[in-house]
Amino acid sequence: MLSPFRLGAAGGIVWGACMFICTVLAIYTGYSKDFLMTMMSIYPGYDISWGGAFLGLVYGFFDAFIGLMLLAWFYNKMGSCKECSRHHE
């Protein structure tokens, strides 16, 4: 069984940090601008700036937290399904 909260928190920290680091790198070097342009179309208000770096950190955390928490919940539900477990006996 997966812990939905723990998986969500771990993934949220990683994805939030990635958004922050990529934004800071783009500010100074221009690295990952194409990727971040895509993120601008997904996260409202996000842009390549210091404010955007912190907004990307927050968006990234909650985006991954919710998505991975739902994934772990669904995974656990599929593992506890009586009909599903009969097929593996």
What 8-state DSSP symbol labels residue 31?
T
- What pLDDT is stored for residue 79 in this prediction? 82
Q: Locate the domains of the chain by residue range.
A: 4-78
What are the residue ranges of helices labelled H in the chain? Answer: 4-29, 33-42, 50-79, 82-86
Left, alpha or beta for 81 (phi > 0: left; psi -120 to 50: alpha)? beta
pTM of the full structure: 0.85
pLDDT mean over 57-80: 95
pLDDT of residue 72: 97
Determine the pLDDT at residue 83. 67
11-60 tens-digit pLDDT: 999 999 999 999 999 999 999 999 999 999 999 999 999 999 999 999 99
